[in-house]
Amino acid sequence: MSTSPTTGTAPPAPRLAFGIDIGGSGIKGAPVDLVAGEFAAERVRIPTPQPSTPEAVARTVGELLDAFALPAGMPVGVTFPAVIQHGVARSAANVDESWIGTDVTAVIREATGREALAVNDADAAGYAETVYGAARDARGVVLVVTLGTGIGSCLVVDGTLVPNTELGHLEIDGHDAESRAADSARERDDLDWEQWAERLQRYFRVVEDLFWPDLIVVGGGVSKKHAHFLPLLDLRTPIVPATLRNAAGIVGAAALAARGTVLD
Ligand code: BGC
């Protein structure tokens, strides 16, 4: 961290930052109290435009920011459900193909006049869990896995985020893992909790054999129903539900934006 030339002390960390979660059906944002790790005002949600091209989504991000009277310099973080390498989208598993190669930071700057930090959705949510949520007291290797339309993953090693692990796309038994074990696969195949847990068991066993994490945190909307499936899993790694629920993406994006970097 840089020090101030006049006082020799570190500049105060911002208390507030703004987080935006870009999802397939909604674009949601709120100012975040970075000390408490929670929303500082009520969240606003705008439906994701269809088709969800970069320009259309960036315009909606602008609309969302206009709904709040934000000071000019407030850090803004934006999550996106794809590989985000240094601000550029590199994949498009569940979003419009036109995102591949798009500099997310640049399209948001053009549409809103603001600088924003862009980060993978699971990385943002997972980071929030390690700072404020289920893994806040954990040391060592923490893996946060979000179960939703896809499977997202976030690897944090002693507080350092290793971005874009994309463990939803591991090939397991000849399948893209998320096509079998995501929550959308449970719904699509009309699985009961036991049937879905069998698929999760296979998935998490492969993941724990690859990474030997100290803790696995399970997020995504279905994590609030964890009592139906987490007790059915037989793993060597402790596995717990996320605690920030659907606030995690927004809180994590805001926290990373305040830090100014995904990689530290
Ligand atoms: C995408 C990831 C994303 C995850 C959860 C996957 O299909 O490849 O980038 O984090 O879905 O949204």
Please confirm whether the linkage preceding 71 is cis (ω < 30° from 0): no
pLDDT tens for each residue of 111-135: 999 999 999 999 999 999 999 999 9
> What confidence score (pLDDT) does residue 93 get?
80
Provide mean pLDDT across the span 163-189.
98
Q: What is the mean pLDDT of residues 33-48?
A: 97
Q: How far apart are CA 226 and CA 214, in angstroms?
A: 19
Query: Which atom number of ligand 1 is nearest to the Cα of residue 23?
Result: 12
Beta carbon of 94 within 6 Å of any ligand 1 atom: yes
- Chain centroid to CA 156: 12
Dump pLDDT digits (tens) for 58-89: 999 999 999 998 998 899 999 999 999 999 99
With a 6 A CB cut-off, is 87 part of the ligand 1 pocket?
A: no
* C-beta 81 within 6 A of ligand 1: yes
Q: What percent of the chain has pLDDT over 70?
A: 95
Q: In what helix (H) or strand (E) does residue 182 lie, and over which residues does it extend?
A: none
Write down all domains in the chain, each with its CATH number in brackets: 16-123+247-259 (3.30.420.40), 136-243 (3.30.420.40)
**pLDDT band per the 50, 70, 90 thresholds, residue 1:** very low
Q: What is the mean pLDDT of the segment spanning 165-171?
A: 98
Please say if the pLDDT value at position 255 is more than 80: yes
- Amino acid of residue 80: F
* Percentage of the chain modeled with pLDDT above 90: 88
Q: Which residue has the higher pLDDT, 264 or 21?
A: 21
Q: Rg (Cα) of the chain, in Å, rounded?
A: 18
Question: How big is the CA angle at 255 (ends 253 and 259), to the nearest 5 degrees?
Answer: 115
DSSP summary character for residue 163: -
Cα(169) to centroid(ligand 1), Å: 8
Question: What gap in Å lies between CA 263 and CA 250, rounded to an integer?
Answer: 18
